[in-house]
Structure formats: structure tokens, C-alpha cells
């Protein structure tokens, strides 16, 4: 049993007690968190697997696996869009079942502090919105995509019977990260909405990891947002990327997105378009006020995003490879959207259903 603060105060030469933290997750963000916490001398990291025999009481099995841990970090794979899309229509139910299992297991194991990683997208997106404070009420509209997943997870967390921190990162970047913003910049041109200015903000996976360590050390509970300081405007983005943009009216973009999603050409719901054409930056005020600082600025983060998005081509959020990518050439994103729409109309014959 770990010594109390009073006992340690009475013996200043006593070694710092080890704290065990369980990490549940398999994506790039989870791996970054594991690396960071494993480097801390006073922490023992337990990477938790979720492979149990059919019929196993999952909360009890999981609680036994994390029984010696005082802290738990749960990282849903919001940084792996390919995995999320592959899960199909059952994704939301499976994700909520897993989240409930984790929360039940944490309660049974008497975990004292749980950190859950969601997304700053839950604050919603607006045209050229100034960065919002951590305590700003959730304002995103529920949908069938990642935003809806994050909102659903946070609704479960509200009923949790343990002390919980909800860490909400800005657009996550890092090696292996696959998200809508990463795919947005894998298109041949940057799609922008006419008359809708945007301010971009990012969060490097290593900064998300250090924020988790800070939250655990300082016992910050409730909502905590994390992102690089400040934002980048459209001119900054085009200068850094050396990419041009294609501008279309917002009404046309939404109509195209709705139709493409309806026939299966668009992998994400039309509402997700908001998060690559409008602003959803955060202040990170609780982290900053308690002494945390980001290691990466937005320009550094964006360069890393470009390195990741440069590994493939994408149009309307869908990855292209081989002949598809070669045929795309230097066509603008809007032209590609229209071309895809026409192709699907001819192929499916159900454009107006």
C-alpha cells in the first residue's frame, strides 16, 4: 500500500512511491501516452489487452487485470479513421459497450482517477470562432460519425462512479494518425467555403501524452482541453503547405456532401464537413493555468500532418490509391467532388432517392 502524503512528509528521504497506470487503447495517441508515462520514474505502466474468451464477464475480467493500478487512461481510437470506418454500422454500439465495460471495471477495481480521451470537436465548430475555454458547454450536433461517437462517450462518462477527467484534444497529429483533417490535406487542393474564414489548431500526440501526465499529477478533473497555442489562418496554411485552394459556396458543399454520403461515396456524415471548414480551437486554459505548456506549435504540428497526409491521396475524405490517385492528377477538390457525384449517379441510378 502506498504511503500517505503525511508519512512521506515525515520522512523526506523516503523514495517516491510507484504509481501504476493502466492504458486501454491501441492507436497512435495511446502509444504516445504509454511512451511518455513509461519514461516517468515514479510510474509503472500496464498496457491492457481486451482479448477475453467468449462468455467472459468482461468488467470483472478487466478489473482483475487492472486491480493493482491507481490510475487508468482510456483512449478510444478516434485517431484511426480507417479502423472506425471498417467497423461499419455496429461501430457506435461496440464503442459504447467497451466504454461502459471500462468504467464498470474501473469502479470494481476502485481506480481512483480515470482519464478518457475524446475530442475538442464536442464544443462544435463555427466560422472563425475564437478559441473557447475548457468549461464551455458542449455544442456539437450529434451525428453518425466521430463527433457523435465522442458525444455519446461523454454522455456515459457523466454517470460514472469514479473521478474522471475528459481530455479533449484539438485536431490530433503525429505518426500514424488518420483523421478527417489529415485526409482533408491529402486532397490535391484545399477545399474552403466561400465567405467562411477558418482558424486551424492542432495537438501533437506527444503533447496529448504530456497533458495526460500533467492531469494525473495535478488531479485535474472534469473537462480539460489541449491544443497548441494560438491558431493558423488560411493564408498560413497555404504558405506552409504550398497548396492552393478551391472555393465553393457553403450551400453547394453541403448538398454535395449529403448526396455523396447518401449513396455511400462519402465515408463520413455531411456534418463532419464542418470540422475541416470551420473553427473549433480551444484555449487549454486549465492546463496552462496549472503550469503545462505545449512542446509543439501549430506550424510544427501542421508540417507533421502534411508528412502524414502525403503518404496517400484522398478526395472527400476517402483514400485513393493506385490508378485512382494517378487519375486524380491536379484536379481541384470541388471538381473531384462533382466528378465523384456524377460517377455515382450513373453507377447507382439512385441519386434522387
| Residue-level pLDDT at 339 | 44
Please report which residue ranges of the chain form alpha helices under DSSP H.
5-10, 28-38, 58-65, 81-86, 91-108, 146-157, 180-184, 205-218, 234-241, 250-262, 274-277, 285-289, 298-309, 323-328, 333-348
C-alpha cell read off for 42 = 515514479
247 or 154, greater pLDDT: 154
- Short-list 195, 166, 170, 171, CA closest to 182: 171
Asked whether residue 101 is assigned to any structural domain, the reply reads yes
82 or 222, greater pLDDT: 222
Q: What angle do CA 36, 283, 296 make, to 5 degrees?
A: 40
Whether 42 has a pLDDT exceeding 70, the answer reads yes
Whether 9 has a pLDDT exceeding 70, the answer reads no
Task: Supply the CATH number for residue 239's domain.
Answer: 3.40.50.720
Helices vs strands, H then E, count in the chain: 15, 12
Whether 11 has a pLDDT exceeding 50, the answer reads no
| Residue-level pLDDT at 311 | 62
| Residue-level pLDDT at 263 | 72
3 state SS of 267: coil
Asked whether residue 106 is assigned to any structural domain, the reply reads yes
Whether 2 has a pLDDT exceeding 70, the answer reads no
Whether 322 has a pLDDT exceeding 50, the answer reads no
Confidence band of 255 (pLDDT split at 50, 70, 90) = confident
Whether 10 has a pLDDT exceeding 50, the answer reads no
Whether 104 has a pLDDT exceeding 80, the answer reads yes
- The number of distinct structural domains making up the chain is 1
Confidence band of 265 (pLDDT split at 50, 70, 90) = low
Q: Which of 139-148, 255-264, 295-304, 326-335 has the lowest mean pLDDT?
A: 326-335
Q: How far apart are CA 44 and CA 64, in angstroms?
A: 17
Asked whether residue 353 is assigned to any structural domain, the reply reads no
Q: Most confidently modeled of 19-23, 142-146, 193-197, 209-213?
A: 209-213
**Quick one: what percent of the chain has pLDDT higher than 70?**
81
57 or 294, greater pLDDT: 294
**318: region left, alpha or beta (phi > 0 left; psi from -120 to 50 alpha):** beta
Whether 327 has a pLDDT exceeding 70, the answer reads no
| Residue-level pLDDT at 188 | 76
Domain that holds residue 258: 5-348
Torsion of CA 222, 227, 231, 233, to 10 degrees: -110
Whether 16 has a pLDDT exceeding 90, the answer reads no
Mean pLDDT of all residues belonging to the chain:
83
Q: Which of 35-44, 194-203, 332-341 has the lowest mean pLDDT?
A: 332-341
Confidence band of 312 (pLDDT split at 50, 70, 90) = low
Amino acid at each position: 500500500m502506498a504511503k500517505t502524503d503525511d508519512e512521506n512528509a515525515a520522512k523526506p528521504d523516503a523514495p517516491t512511491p510507484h504509481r501504476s497506470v493502466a492504458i486501454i487503447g491501441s492507436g497512435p495517441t495511446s502509444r504516445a501516452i504509454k511512451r511518455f508515462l513509461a519514461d516517468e520514474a515514479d510510474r509503472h505502466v500496464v498496457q491492457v489487452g481486451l482479448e477475453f474468451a467468449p462468455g467472459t464477464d468482461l468488467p470483472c475480467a478487466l478489473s482483475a487485470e487492472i486491480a493493482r493500478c491507481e490510475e487508468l487512461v482510456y483512449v478510444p481510437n478516434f485517431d484511426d479513421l480507417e479502423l472506425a470506418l471498417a467497423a461499419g454500422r455496429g461501430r457506435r454500439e461496440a464503442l459504447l459497450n467497451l466504454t461502459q465495460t471500462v468504467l464498470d471495471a474501473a469502479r470494481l477495481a476502485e481506480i481512483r482517477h480515470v482519464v478518457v480521451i475524446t475530442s475538442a470537436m464536442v464544443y462544435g465548430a463555427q466560422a472563425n470562432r475564437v478559441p473557447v475555454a475548457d468549461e464551455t458547454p458542449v455544442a456539437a450536433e450529434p451525428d453518425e460519425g466521430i463527433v457523435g461517437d465522442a458525444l455519446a462517450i461523454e454522455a456515459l462518462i457523466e454517470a460514472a462512479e469514479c473521478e474522471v477527467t475528459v481530455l479533449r484534444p484539438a485536431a490530433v497529429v503525429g505518426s500514424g494518425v488518420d483523421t478527417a483533417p489529415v485526409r482533408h490535406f491529402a486532397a490535391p487542393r484545399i477545399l474552403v467555403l466561400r465567405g467562411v474564414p477558418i482558424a486551424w489548431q492542432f495537438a501533437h500526440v506527444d503533447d496529448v501524452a504530456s497533458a495526460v501526465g500533467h492531469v494525473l499529477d495535478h488531479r485535474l478533473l472534469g473537462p480539460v482541453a489541449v491544443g497548441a497555442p494560438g491558431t493558423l489562418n488560411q493564408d498560413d496554411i497555404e504558405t506552409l503547405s504550398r497548396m492552393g485552394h478551391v472555393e465553393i459556396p457553403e450551400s453547394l458543399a453541403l448538398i454535395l456532401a449529403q448526396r455523396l454520403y447518401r449513396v455511400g461515396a462519402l465515408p463520413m456524415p455531411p456534418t463532419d464537413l464542418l470540422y475541416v471548414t470551420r473553427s473549433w480551437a480551444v484555449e487549454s486554459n486549465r492546463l496552462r493555468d496549472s503550469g503545462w505548456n505545449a512542446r509543439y506549435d501549430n506550424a510544427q504540428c501542421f508540417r507533421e500532418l502534411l508528412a502524414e497526409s502525403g503518404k496517400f491521396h484522398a478526395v472527400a475524405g476517402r483514400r485513393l490509391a493506385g490508378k485512382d490517385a494517378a487519375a486524380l492528377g491536379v484536379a481541384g477538390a470541388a471538381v473531384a467532388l462533382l466528378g465523384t457525384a456524377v460517377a455515382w449517379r450513373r453507377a447507382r441510378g439512385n441519386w434522387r432517392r
